[in-house]
């Protein structure tokens, strides 16, 4: 229920109309959008990642596989939505599955998971679920799933089928499913090289991390296809967003803003939304943002809880924020902190991703 409620809230768009700032020449008010969830397709506030046109070209290729990766709230789902929208404009069949919304019991059994996957794709395409007709206990789940797609979902329809799987990371918590499902997707990708029927299937995998220790790189979909790793906004992109929010800032103010939070898309848009709504001034934002009295309170405390729940991560993050230079951590720990978006890598060392994290976690993890 909590996951369903969160999804509803994430998909909602709050519109706030604010008056024109006196210092601007534009005579029109702007409609601000809530920063939760995907950025709407027609949003005035979407900043292109630079990958859009390349993704649009890749999705046209037979058997293509796109891998969109970044830490949480960096714009992965928004880019995915645009890829799917473009595919629909080409007349392709499209399916979006969000594993974060999937019922926990589906992950209890690899066989059940594969049946759920087949049924969910068929349901999204508007066809009757026929897993009982294509499932044979003599064969494994991967073989049955392949038959279901080959003989039912792909055969008899010339239109390409695009399947986007959001929050793919969830399968990494279930080793048996991870091994079988990743092997299945990699097998389909390889099959498309020589079987035209499978060329109609194109995959989009959206994830925040990859398995830390891949069991068999030849069974992994994470070393094939077209990789997209989203980065933070540049100074020019943040400057453009400031302009779109009808804020008139000096270069020094822009510098102070980015010095604190960098170009993290969620942090940037959340702050600009609140400042443009006149809920808070830039000065108040800069002063309170690294505290639990600031606008990032829930966001920061969510990260803090993770670090407290996993003491090894908390101790490592404490070392990072207390140091004045990049820190060398165990590879697995660096990998996990990087996947959460809390650190940036500098060669084999790490440093806090932004000053906001350094200030907040230095205080809350016991630093002085």
Q: Given phi > 0 = left and psi -120 to 50 = alpha, else beta, which region is 349? A: beta
Return all residues near 212 (Cβ < 8 A) that are at least 6 apart.
332, 335, 336
Q: What pLDDT shows up at residue 210? A: 74
- CATH, domain range 304-364: 1.10.10
Could you read off the pLDDT of 128-145 as tens digits, one per residue? Answer: 989 888 888 888 899 999
Q: What pLDDT shows up at residue 12? A: 40
Nearest to 336 by CA among 149, 217, 208: 208
Nearest to 173 by CA among 222, 108, 231: 108
d(CA 178, CA 175): 5
d(CA 250, CA 51): 30
Q: How many residues does the chain have?
A: 368
pLDDT tens, position by position, for the chain (368 residues)? 444 444 443 444 333 433 444 444 444 567 888 788 789 999 999 999 999 999 999 999 999 999 999 988 899 999 999 999 999 999 999 999 999 989 999 999 999 999 999 999 999 999 998 988 888 888 889 999 999 999 999 998 999 999 999 999 999 989 999 999 999 999 999 999 999 999 999 999 999 887 765 566 667 888 899 999 999 999 999 999 999 999 999 999 999 999 999 999 999 999 999 999 999 999 999 999 999 999 999 999 999 999 999 999 999 999 999 999 999 999 999 999 998 999 999 999 999 999 999 999 999 997 54
Q: What pLDDT shows up at residue 321? A: 97
Spans of all domains in the chain: 2-45+233-288, 52-229, 304-364
Q: Phi, psi at residue 191, to the nearest 5°?
A: -65, -30
DSSP assignment letter at 327? B
CATH 1.10.540.10 fits 52-229, yes or no: no
Q: What pLDDT shows up at residue 2? A: 43
pTM metric for this prediction: 0.87
Q: What pLDDT shows up at residue 35? A: 81
């Amino acid at each position: 229920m909590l996951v369903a409620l969160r999804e509803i809230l994430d998909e909602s768009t709050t519109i706030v109309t604010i008056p024109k700032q006196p210092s601007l020449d534009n005579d029109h008010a702007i409609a601000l959008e809530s920063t939760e969830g995907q950025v709407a397709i027609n949003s005035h506030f979407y900043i292109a990642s630079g990958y859009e046109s390349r993704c649009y070209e890749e999705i046209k290729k037979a058997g293509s596989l796109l891998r969109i990766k970044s830490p949480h709230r960096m714009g992965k789902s928004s880019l995915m939505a645009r890829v799917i929208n473009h595919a629909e404009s080409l007349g392709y069949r499209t399916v979006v599955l969000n594993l974060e919304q999937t019922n926990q019991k589906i992950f209890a059994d690899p066989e059940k998971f594969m049946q759920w996957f087949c049924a969910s794709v068929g349901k999204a395409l508007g066809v009757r679920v026929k897993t009982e007709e294509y499932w044979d206990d003599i064969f494994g789940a991967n073989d049955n799933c392949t038959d279901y797609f080959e003989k039912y979902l792909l055969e008899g329809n010339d239109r390409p089928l695009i399947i986007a799987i959001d929050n793919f990371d969830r399968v990494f918590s279930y080793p048996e499913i991870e091994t079988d499902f990743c092997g299945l997707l990699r097998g389909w990708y390889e099959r498309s090289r020589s079987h035209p029927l499978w060329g109609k299937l194109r995959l989009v995998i959206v994830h925040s991390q990859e398995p830390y220790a891949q069991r068999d790189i030849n069974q992994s979909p994470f070393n094939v296809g077209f990789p997209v790793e989203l980065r933070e906004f540049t100074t020019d992109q943040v400057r453009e967003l400031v302009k779109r929010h009808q804020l008139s800032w000096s270069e020094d103010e822009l510098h102070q803003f980015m010095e604190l939070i960098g170009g993290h898309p969620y942090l940037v848009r959340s702050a600009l939304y609140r400042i443009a709504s006149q809920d808070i001034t830039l000065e108040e934002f800069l002063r309170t943002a690294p505290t639990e009295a600031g606008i990032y309170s829930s966001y920061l405390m969510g990260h803090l809880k993770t670090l407290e729940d996993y003491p090894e991560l908390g101790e490592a993050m404490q070392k990072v924020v207390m140091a004045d230079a990049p820190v060398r951590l165990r590879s697995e720990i660096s990998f996990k902190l990087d996947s959460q978006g809390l650190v940036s890598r500098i060669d084999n060392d790490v440093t806090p991703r932004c000053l906001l994290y350094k200030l907040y976690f230095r205080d809350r993890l016991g630093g002085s």
